[in-house]
Amino acid sequence: MSEIFHLVYFSKAAEDLSYTDIREILEVSRRNNARLGITGLLIFRDGFFLQLLEGEQASVHKILGAIREDDRNYSVKVLIEASGQERLFAEWSMAFHDGDITTASSGHLVELFESVATSDLSKRALIMPILKKFRASAPELK
Protein backbone atom coordinates (compact mmCIF):
# COMPACT_ATOMS: atom_id res chain seq x y z
CA MET A 1 0.00 0.00 0.00
CA SER A 2 1.40 3.42 -0.91
CA GLU A 3 1.59 6.20 1.63
CA ILE A 4 -1.06 8.91 1.70
CA PHE A 5 0.05 12.51 2.13
CA HIS A 6 -1.99 14.54 4.66
CA LEU A 7 -2.02 18.32 4.81
CA VAL A 8 -4.04 20.37 7.29
CA TYR A 9 -4.36 24.12 6.95
CA PHE A 10 -6.22 26.90 8.70
CA SER A 11 -7.40 30.14 7.08
CA LYS A 12 -9.61 33.16 7.71
CA ALA A 13 -12.73 33.43 5.57
CA ALA A 14 -13.32 36.67 3.67
CA GLU A 15 -15.56 39.06 5.61
CA ASP A 16 -18.29 38.98 2.95
CA LEU A 17 -18.31 35.18 2.54
CA SER A 18 -21.85 33.78 2.20
CA TYR A 19 -23.29 30.29 2.38
CA THR A 20 -23.71 30.50 -1.39
CA ASP A 21 -19.94 30.97 -1.60
CA ILE A 22 -19.38 27.96 0.66
CA ARG A 23 -21.69 25.81 -1.49
CA GLU A 24 -19.74 26.90 -4.58
CA ILE A 25 -16.42 26.14 -2.87
CA LEU A 26 -17.68 22.66 -2.03
CA GLU A 27 -19.02 21.96 -5.55
CA VAL A 28 -15.78 23.01 -7.24
CA SER A 29 -13.63 21.28 -4.61
CA ARG A 30 -15.49 18.03 -4.93
CA ARG A 31 -15.19 18.06 -8.72
CA ASN A 32 -11.47 18.98 -8.74
CA ASN A 33 -10.58 16.68 -5.86
CA ALA A 34 -12.30 13.69 -7.47
CA ARG A 35 -10.35 14.35 -10.68
CA LEU A 36 -7.04 14.51 -8.77
CA GLY A 37 -7.71 11.64 -6.34
CA ILE A 38 -7.91 13.98 -3.32
CA THR A 39 -10.17 13.35 -0.34
CA GLY A 40 -10.66 15.28 2.87
CA LEU A 41 -12.75 17.37 5.21
CA LEU A 42 -13.56 21.09 5.26
CA ILE A 43 -14.74 22.61 8.55
CA PHE A 44 -16.18 26.11 8.77
CA ARG A 45 -16.60 27.84 12.13
CA ASP A 46 -16.77 31.45 13.29
CA GLY A 47 -15.32 32.83 10.06
CA PHE A 48 -12.46 30.34 9.80
CA PHE A 49 -11.75 27.30 7.64
CA LEU A 50 -9.84 24.25 8.73
CA GLN A 51 -9.25 21.69 6.03
CA LEU A 52 -7.63 18.30 5.73
CA LEU A 53 -6.49 17.34 2.22
CA GLU A 54 -5.22 13.82 1.57
CA GLY A 55 -3.83 12.10 -1.48
CA GLU A 56 -0.70 12.18 -3.64
CA GLN A 57 1.64 14.92 -2.37
CA ALA A 58 2.00 16.84 -5.66
CA SER A 59 -1.79 16.85 -6.16
CA VAL A 60 -2.40 18.07 -2.60
CA HIS A 61 0.11 20.89 -3.11
CA LYS A 62 -1.57 21.79 -6.42
CA ILE A 63 -4.92 22.15 -4.63
CA LEU A 64 -3.28 24.15 -1.83
CA GLY A 65 -1.86 26.53 -4.43
CA ALA A 66 -5.35 27.16 -5.80
CA ILE A 67 -6.68 27.71 -2.25
CA ARG A 68 -3.96 30.28 -1.55
CA GLU A 69 -5.02 32.17 -4.71
CA ASP A 70 -8.74 32.14 -3.79
CA ASP A 71 -9.80 35.52 -2.40
CA ARG A 72 -12.63 33.95 -0.39
CA ASN A 73 -10.04 33.15 2.27
CA TYR A 74 -6.71 34.56 3.40
CA SER A 75 -3.91 33.98 5.92
CA VAL A 76 -3.61 30.34 4.87
CA LYS A 77 -1.43 28.63 7.47
CA VAL A 78 -0.27 25.04 6.97
CA LEU A 79 -0.41 23.21 10.30
CA ILE A 80 0.45 19.62 9.38
CA GLU A 81 2.18 17.89 6.51
CA ALA A 82 2.60 14.18 7.13
CA SER A 83 2.37 10.80 5.46
CA GLY A 84 0.16 7.99 6.65
CA GLN A 85 -1.02 4.55 5.66
CA GLU A 86 -4.70 5.36 5.27
CA ARG A 87 -7.07 8.10 4.25
CA LEU A 88 -9.25 9.44 7.03
CA PHE A 89 -12.04 10.53 4.66
CA ALA A 90 -11.75 8.08 1.77
CA GLU A 91 -15.50 8.20 1.09
CA TRP A 92 -15.60 11.96 0.49
CA SER A 93 -13.92 14.02 -2.22
CA MET A 94 -14.64 16.78 0.29
CA ALA A 95 -16.71 16.21 3.40
CA PHE A 96 -18.10 19.34 5.03
CA HIS A 97 -18.84 20.16 8.64
CA ASP A 98 -20.58 23.44 9.46
CA GLY A 99 -19.44 24.24 12.96
CA ASP A 100 -21.76 27.23 13.17
CA ILE A 101 -24.97 25.18 12.97
CA THR A 102 -24.06 21.64 14.02
CA THR A 103 -23.97 21.05 17.76
CA ALA A 104 -23.39 17.29 17.96
CA SER A 105 -19.59 17.56 17.67
CA SER A 106 -19.23 20.92 19.36
CA GLY A 107 -16.86 19.48 21.98
CA HIS A 108 -14.57 18.11 19.26
CA LEU A 109 -14.79 21.41 17.43
CA VAL A 110 -13.81 23.53 20.43
CA GLU A 111 -10.92 21.18 21.17
CA LEU A 112 -9.83 21.26 17.53
CA PHE A 113 -9.88 25.05 17.20
CA GLU A 114 -8.11 25.48 20.55
CA SER A 115 -5.41 23.09 19.31
CA VAL A 116 -5.01 25.17 16.15
CA ALA A 117 -4.89 28.50 17.97
CA THR A 118 -2.12 27.55 20.36
CA SER A 119 1.56 27.78 19.64
CA ASP A 120 2.05 24.81 21.96
CA LEU A 121 3.22 22.02 19.63
CA SER A 122 2.00 19.31 22.01
CA LYS A 123 -1.55 20.65 21.57
CA ARG A 124 -1.11 20.77 17.78
CA ALA A 125 -0.38 17.06 17.96
CA LEU A 126 -4.06 16.63 18.90
CA ILE A 127 -5.29 17.86 15.50
CA MET A 128 -5.14 14.53 13.63
CA PRO A 129 -6.72 12.50 16.48
CA ILE A 130 -9.56 15.03 16.69
CA LEU A 131 -10.09 14.85 12.92
CA LYS A 132 -10.39 11.07 13.32
CA LYS A 133 -13.26 11.73 15.76
CA PHE A 134 -15.03 13.64 12.98
CA ARG A 135 -14.69 10.59 10.77
CA ALA A 136 -16.47 8.59 13.45
CA SER A 137 -19.37 11.05 13.30
CA ALA A 138 -19.82 10.54 9.55
CA PRO A 139 -23.64 10.98 9.46
CA GLU A 140 -23.15 14.64 10.46
CA LEU A 141 -20.90 15.34 7.49
CA LYS A 142 -22.39 16.71 4.32
Domain boundaries, the chain: 4-140
Residue 1 pLDDT level (bands cut at 50, 70, 90): low
State whether CATH 3.40.50.150 applies to domain 4-140. no
> What does the pLDDT average to over 42-47?
89
Residue 126 vs residue 104, higher pLDDT: 126
Residue 134 has pLDDT above 90, yes or no: no
Q: Would you call 33 helix, strand, or coil by DSSP? A: helix
Provide the mean pLDDT of the chain: 85
- pTM of this structure: 0.86
User: Which long-range contacts does 34-38 make (Cβ < 8 Å, 24+ apart)?
Assistant: 34/93, 36/62, 36/63, 38/63, 38/93, 38/94
> What does the pLDDT average to over 115-130?
73
